Amino acid sequence: MTDIGQDRILVVDDGAENREILVDLLGSEGYTVDTAVDGAEAVEKALASPPDLILMDVSMPRLTGFEACRRLKADERTHLVPIVLVTGLVAREDRIQGIAAGCDDFLTKPVDSEQLIARTRNLLRTKSLVDELEQAENVLVSLANALDAKDNYTRGHSERVARYAEALGAEMGLGRIECRNLRRAGLLHDIGKIGTNLEYLHKPGPLTTTEYEEVKKHPVVGFEICRPLRTMAPLLALIRGHHERLDGRGYPDALRADAVPVPLRCLTIADVYDAITSDRSYRKALPRDRAFKIMSEEASTGMWDARLVDLFFDKVQHLD
C-alpha cells in the first residue's frame, strides 16, 4: 500500500471556500491535494495525471460533477480512480444519477470531517489493492510479450490479436467493458505457451500426435496461470477457450454452438486471422483475400460464425 504522503487527491468545487476546507482537512492528514474549479478542469487534470482519489462537487459551471464523473469513468486512464460526489443534493433521483454516472461514494455538504477522512482512507486502501492487482496483470502481459518476441514468427501476435478482437467486439455492439476484456484477453491468450516445449512451437514441419497434444495444453495452462488473480476473472473463459470452434471440434472443452459466446467468437476469429496472415515456422503468410476465402469456407462448414467472419473482413482486417 502507498504511503499517505504519496496519495494524490483532486478536489473539485466551484466554491473557493469549499475547496479550502477540503484542502485543509486532507492536507492536515498528509495527503497531496490538487484542486480544480469545475468539472471541465477536473477532467483535463485527471486525464493528464490521474490522481488516486477525486472529491467532486455536483453543481458546477461548464461541466457538472455527474458528467465529469461519467467521462472519467469511461476513459481507460481514469476508470479505476475512485470518485466521491460531494453534494448538498439529497433527492433520491440525484443519488441514482450519480450511481449511473459511475461514482464510488457520496458525501453530503456540509462535510463531516471524521466521515471525510474515514471514507478517504477506505477508498485509497481499495485503490491501492486494485493497483497491486493491475501491476500483477502487467507482469503477465510483459511475460506474454516476451514469449512472442522470442520467436520471429509470433512477434507482435498477441498485440495484433488484442487489437483485432477489441475492434470486432465493438463492431458487434459489445459494451465498453466487454471490448476492454477482449483486448486484455488477446494480450494474454497465449501466455500458457510458457509451459510448451519451444522445439514444438518452432518445428518447421507437421507435429506428431504427441507433440500436438502437448501444444494443445496451452489454453488450460494459461487459464491456470491467470486464475489466482481476481482481476483476471472476466478473462479466464476467453483465455481457456480461444481454440474452441462452433462445430464442437475445438479444444480444450469441445464447446459447441451457443456454448461459444460472442466475445469468445471474436477472439477466436482474430487469432485465426493473424495466424493465417503471419509467417509461421511451417509456412509463409497468406494474403488477406486468401485468408478470407479459407475462413469463409470453414465458416460454411460450421467451424466459425459466418456473420462475424464477414464483419471482420468488412470492418476490421484493415487494422493490420
What is the residue type of 147? L
Contact 65, 15 (CB under 8 A): no
Residue 203 annotated to the active site: no
45: number of Cβ within 10 Å: 17
Among 73, 150, 193, 216, the active-site one is 193
Contacts of 205 (CB under 8 A, 6+ apart): 282
Contacts of 117 (CB under 8 A, 6+ apart): 25, 26, 29
Cell digits for 215?
A: 501444444
Span between the terminal Cα atoms of the chain, in Å: 40
Contact 7, 124 (CB under 8 A): yes
* CA gap 205, 64 in Å, rounded: 62
* Alpha-carbon distances, residue 126 vs 63, 80, 120, 140 (angstroms): 28, 10, 10, 22
- Report the catalytic residues: 193
